[in-house]
Amino acid sequence: MQINKHKLHIIFTIFVFIALASLDNAVVGLFPPLFSSIAKDLNIDISSLGVISAVNMFVTSLSSLFWGYLADKGKRKRLIIIGTIIWSISVFLTAYSKSYLQLLVFQAFTGIGLGCIASIGFSVLTDYIPKHLRGMLMSLWGLSQGFGGIAGSIMASIIAPATSWRRPFEITAILGFSFIFLYFFIHEPKKGASEPELKELVESGSEYDYVIEYHHIRELLVKKSNKWLILQGFFMNITTGTLIWLPTLYMSKIEKLGYSSETALVASGYLFGLLQIGGLASIYFGYLGDKLQKKTHNGRSALAALTILTAMPLYILMFASPLKSLSIPNNGTPIAILFSLMSEMLTNPWLLLMFALAVIGTTAHSANTPNWLALITDVNLPEHRATIFSIANLINGIGRSIGNVLIGIVLKYVSYSFYAPNNYIITMILFQAFFIPSALCYIKIAKNNKNDIHHVKSTLLRRVKKI
């Protein structure tokens, strides 16, 4: 009975953190579909909203470094409660922004709170997930983040036209407050509980009491696998940071066909969600990475590099594919527009082509996250994982922020020569070039991770004997 109760605690805790990761990204997903509505209401240039989005991403990543270091030092439950209170209040205040400056400040504070979700969630999950299932189960965590962003985008597209751009932020804030109640029932795992080398130690009731020290940070940064994993994430996120403009691209294509901005907003949100279905494949690629990693330490890296290079041309073709003969109800209800779009995907060859390219592209792209997360776990000691993940997440955030700022600048200059939607198409295609160095980093990782994984194993075994 005690074992079953313990397992239920584990399942509940994993569920809460996976759901929380989804809600975390729903906050980020809300913003892009509302760019046009917010710009009109606050009387600001739409391109300036890319800066606010970039600031939010950067602050989220910067604060996660602070949260991650604290997570490696002590209790994580208390930290996640504090962080959730901060971002929930900030999101609620965002809904009442009256100026560009207020929007910027509230979104920056939102980022401070959101920074705790990724770093602490990663730390808790890596202590629960068995090593041989690390890629597959971490894919669920990564997948929930992707679909959280989609859910936020769809919610914004449905609710905002019927009410106001402010209402989706209010609803998300209320959901955030509800999670605070759930945290009181989660079960914090013992540090390193998922490591095979520490199994006997954990089962005997002994504690793995090693914690990070400040001087360890330099060691983490000079580790070769970590350096290339961080650099890979930087290049990858420059490109993926620009993908939040996809709803704006779809909206532009639909408006070009003569539909109202309200109809285009709803339809673009649905398209953004439907065309991300390929992300579900991350579960399979996480599982495949686990299998390949058992055979060779190069398995995950080779798989991720190959799939990234496959995704690049597919995305380019998807951006460039024309949208013609679309037949959806203009100014119809959100449900009517959804059913019309789903019907069009079966009968409209142009929409079907865009759908196929997007699904295959996101399928290939989905291999990156679970295998990156598994690799950064494999090559680092339990007491270092939240911190190194937070450092990598900071660099990822810088990459996403750079992508967001640069795409606004590039879009402005491209728009001098090309009208919508061609200006969006050309700009987004240009940013796919960063997939190339991202894939090359995985090739370098493949040459270094074997030694770093063996070092982790030997260190844990040595410590177990000492304890």
Position 319 scores a pLDDT of 92
| DSSP element (H, E) containing 162 | helix 134-162
How does residue 202 score in pLDDT terms, banded at 50, 70 and 90? Answer: low
Q: Which of 349, 344, 343 lies closest to 322 in space, CA to CA? A: 349
Residue 144 to residues 100, 281, 367, 370, 381, Cα–Cα distance (Å): 31, 12, 14, 12, 25
Contact indicator for 133, 290 with CB cutoff of 8 Å: yes
Rounded (10°) angle between helices 77-94 and 100-128: 150
| DSSP element (H, E) containing 328 | none
pTM: 0.78
Residue 409 to residues 43, 224, 227, 397, Cα–Cα distance (Å): 19, 34, 29, 18
Tell me the pLDDT tens digit for each residue of 161-183: 778 889 999 999 998 888 888 88
For the domain spanning 2-466, the CATH number is: 1.20.1250.20
Would you give the distance in Å from CA 303 to the centre of its chain? Answer: 20
Q: Which of 310, 282, 314 lies closest to 439 in space, CA to CA? A: 310
| DSSP element (H, E) containing 256 | helix 246-256
Tell me the pLDDT tens digit for each residue of 296-312: 888 899 999 999 999 99
CA distance 309 to 365: 9
Q: Which of 125, 118, 161, 124 lies closest to 25 in space, CA to CA? A: 118
How does residue 1 score in pLDDT terms, banded at 50, 70 and 90? Answer: very low
Q: Where are the alpha helices (DSSP H) in 205-245?
A: 216-222, 224-242
pLDDT of 278 over the 70 cut: yes
